[in-house]
Amino acid sequence: MASSNMGNGILNELPPRYEKTSPEVALDLQTFKLVHSHFVVMETHLRKIENGVSDMITAFKEREINNDLIQIRREWQAVAVALDRLFFILFILAIVISVIVLFPRPYALQF
């Protein structure tokens, strides 16, 4: 007799119209069990595929964010190099001007 609970034991119970066992009913039940097991396996594989695809999407998003951060870092690095060169040139100019002002040439004083 079939139970109204469809969760556990669905493969072990026959529907009400199959209460009498016959070779055809046994074959139908065996086919049903086989098809059901294939669907369970397919569902497991599909879930694995879905998880793999979602992991790939997450990885691509992280890679995109990392690429954006790398691009921003390179831009700031270029700004830092330009400012470093500018301040180096200003430092050299300040040293040269200081040397000229503090240590004048001796023959320039004899006019």
Q: Decide: pTM greater than 0.75.
A: no
Write down the pLDDT at residue 5.
45
Please state, in angstroms and rounded to a whole number, the distance separating the CA atoms of residues 15 and 12: 10
Closest CA relative to residue 30, chosen from 22, 60, 91: 22
What is the arithmetic mean of pLDDT over 9-34?
60
On whether the CB atoms of residues 25 and 15 are closer than 8 A, the answer is no
